[in-house]
Amino acid sequence: RVQNWSFNKEFLFSPRFQLAVKPDWEADMLFRFAAGVYYQAPYYREIKSLDGSLDSSIKAQKSLHFVLANDYEFAWKDRPFKLTTELYYKKMNNLMPYYMDNMRIRYSGKNNAKGYAYGVDARLFGEFVPGVDSWISVGYSRIYENIDNKGFIPRPTDQRFRVSMFYQDYMPKFPSMRVNLTLVYASGLPTGTPILFNADGTPNFDTAYHFQKTLTSYKRVDIGLTKIFIDQKDHKPKSVFWSKFKELSLGIQIFNAFNIHNTVANQWINDIETGYYYPVPVRLTGRFFNVKLEFKF
């Protein structure tokens, strides 16, 4: 892949390589290896310095990726399943540090950081209930950055552990009525650091080296009930009008069913008398309901 960014007159060349090997084994396995160079060209928010000026000398953020993966397809109780596992490592250069101002992202406007990331992801997809698809995924990762060679600290995206599941079931006597359950758990992000300013009014990025406060973990449960009127797998005769639809369903969803108030950021309040900063959590939406009509021609 070749790119040319006219704003900073930067020419980007991104070579990438992928290899897949399928051994002649009784088990249906596919091994994959991929490597490549990825660039993220700067956009307006990134080229804008903290004083409001635009810096044409800014460079694209660069990442060198290595991915080793395995796909394993198998049958359990005559039902198909697929287990995908991925190991990855990323070396990043020309990073632009950023901080969270409440829910606003502010970039430093400089390529003054480098970093690395590594992790593992696993996902099991299949028919836990005959005829309907469900999945469960688990991941662990670490993401670090080094700002101005002061040492490596967790980046704001360093979430570490996460697990999610989507499960479907139906009534045996009424298979067109389906119930789905979505579970999500993720450890908190290290974006709870208070924002301190230098004498010139610019944010002090050294703050993250002295204060590291991780947000609370993210937890959510969604429940849905769906009535399927038309399924492309169903070959029942239909009228002229309804024959135009491949799929048609109506569903009711309850998002965040347990009304968990997850924290997305902290707003820091400064006590002028003591100089202490006190975090006030910024919460996400609680429980709410949704009606969904889905169709496919």
Residue 44 is which amino acid? Y
Cβ-proximal residues to 152 (8 Å cutoff; 6+ apart), any chain: 115, 116, 144, 145, 146
pLDDT value of residue 81:
96
What is the rounded distance in angstroms from the CA atom of residue 284 to the CA atom of residue 154? 23
pTM of the model: 0.83
Name the residue with tokens 């997305």: 264
> What does the pLDDT read at residue 57?
86
What is the rounded CA–CA span in Å between residue 150 and residue 25? 50
The two tokens of residue 121 are 């992801």
Q: Which strand (E) or helix (H) includes residue 45?
A: helix 44-47
At 210, phi and psi to the nearest 5? -110, -25
* CATH 1.20.1090.10 is held by the domain 2-296: no
- Whether residue 146 contacts residue 113, with contact meaning beta carbons closer than 8 Å, is answered with yes
Per-residue pLDDT of the chain in tens (297 residues, 90 and over written 9): 888 888 888 899 999 999 999 999 999 999 999 999 999 888 888 887 767 778 888 899 999 999 999 999 999 989 999 999 999 999 999 999 887 777 778 888 889 999 999 999 999 999 999 888 999 999 999 999 999 999 999 998 898 999 999 999 998 888 889 999 999 999 998 876 666 777 776 667 777 787 777 889 999 999 999 998 887 666 555 566 667 777 888 999 999 999 999 998 888 787 888 877 788 888 998 999 999 998 888
Domain boundaries of the chain, sorted by first residue:
2-296
Strands (E), 96-245: 98-101, 104-107, 113-129, 132-147, 152-154, 161-171, 174-186, 218-230
The DSSP 8-state label assigned to residue 109 in this structure reads: S
- Evaluate whether 66 touches 18 at the Cβ level (below 8 Å): no
User: What is the DSSP secondary structure assignment for residue 150, as one 8-state letter?
Assistant: S
